[in-house]
Amino acid sequence: MSKLNSDSKVPAKALKPHRSWLTEGVLDAEYKEYVLLAWLQKVKQDLNSTKLYPALADVIEKHRELNAIKKGLDQGKESGPVIGLDFARMQLLRSSSNTSSSLEEYLKELIQRAMPHLDSAMQEGKSLYDQIDANIEFCPIGVQPLHVSEGYLLVTQGMHTQRKLLAYRYNKSKITRGGDAFLELNLECIETRNLSRLETADDIKWSLIRRYRQLPQPATYHVHAEHMVPLKATLLPIARRKLLQEIAQC
């Protein structure tokens, strides 16, 4: 990431830039680069602390937004000057006149400055994700029922006598957003405790079956990380993604 000049006016708060940051305030590409860099410094601190989310998802979102604008600039060269942005759709608004557009030149310069920083942060985040993901075990426990849209997700961390358990009840549902259908996974934590040395995932599954009679034959999946990583910011999002991939076609 580029270093800021000592006389640059860097924003005091390194907050995630919302979509309107592109055209909000002064249209100065260099200053907006500093706004982005200030936020990316916070992202880098999170990644250095092995906190993947929301940092990585936010970087990917910003990268997609600027890519959408860049695509619009490249494809609409003969469509008239840019006069604004539709932030809901991340689309350029153009005029039918033939006048030049200072907004268009500003956006081109900003994208040229911003994309290398976002590329670097996204690559760093994805590398960390792959490194952690490669060391996380995921497997079904026992015989799975025909319907796996609900069941249990067992998340364990640690080695030998230092293992910790978080048991979740999950259910899969479909939601519609913008005319498109998406899968949603709801997780409810039902148990948190330390594990004994000899206790297995199968033991935990049968303990839950005896306690919660409404699921007599539940689909059950186990995620285990030997190394301790942040639960909410790293392990649980990865576990959720693995589970969604497993049950998506069911």
Q: What is the mean pLDDT of the chain?
A: 87
Domain that holds residue 97: 19-133
User: 3-class SS at 81?
Assistant: coil
DSSP letter (8 states) at residue 53: T
Express each pLDDT in 166-202 by its tens digit: 999 999 887 766 656 677 899 999 999 999 888 999 9
Q: Is the pLDDT of residue 6 over 60?
A: no
Domain shared by 232 and 216, yes or no: yes
Residue given tokens 């060269």 in the structure block: 77
Indicate whether 12 belongs to any domain.
no
Q: What is the separation, in whole angstroms, between the first and last Cα of the chain?
A: 43
Domain shared by 203 and 114, yes or no: no
**Which of 108, 133, 158 is the last residue in one of the domains?**
133
* Integer Cα distance of 22 and 19 in angstroms: 7
DSSP string for 84-120: EEETTTTEEEE-SS----HHHHHHHHHHHHHHHHHHH
**Which of 133, 152, 176 is the last residue in one of the domains?**
133
Indicate whether 106 belongs to any domain.
yes
Taking residue 142's Cβ as centre, other Cβ atoms within 10 Å add up to 14
Domain shared by 127 and 150, yes or no: no
Q: Closest by alpha carbon to 18, among 68, 90, 126, 122?
A: 90
Indicate whether 10 belongs to any domain.
no
Express each pLDDT in 49-72 by its tens digit: 999 999 999 999 999 999 999 998
Indicate whether 13 belongs to any domain.
no
Indicate whether 195 belongs to any domain.
yes
Domain shared by 175 and 159, yes or no: yes
For the record, the structure tokens of 94 come out as 């153009």
Domain shared by 169 and 119, yes or no: no
Domain shared by 221 and 124, yes or no: no
Dihedral sign, CA of 67, 73, 75, 80? positive
Domain shared by 86 and 178, yes or no: no
Domain shared by 141 and 236, yes or no: yes
User: 3-class SS at 30?
Assistant: helix
* Integer Cα distance of 190 and 215 in angstroms: 14
Phi, psi dihedrals of residue 217, rounded to the nearest 5°: -135, 70
**Which of 115, 133, 151 is the last residue in one of the domains?**
133
Number of domains in the chain: 2
Q: Is the pLDDT of residue 9 over 60?
A: no
Give the residue, 23 or 63, on which the prediction is more confident: 63
Domain shared by 112 and 183, yes or no: no
Domain shared by 187 and 201, yes or no: yes
Indicate whether 7 belongs to any domain.
no
- The model's pTM is 0.82
Express each pLDDT in 68-87 by its tens digit: 999 988 887 667 788 888 88
Domain shared by 122 and 151, yes or no: no
Domain shared by 91 and 140, yes or no: no
pLDDT at 91: 84
Indicate whether 4 belongs to any domain.
no
pLDDT at 111: 95
Indicate whether 188 belongs to any domain.
yes
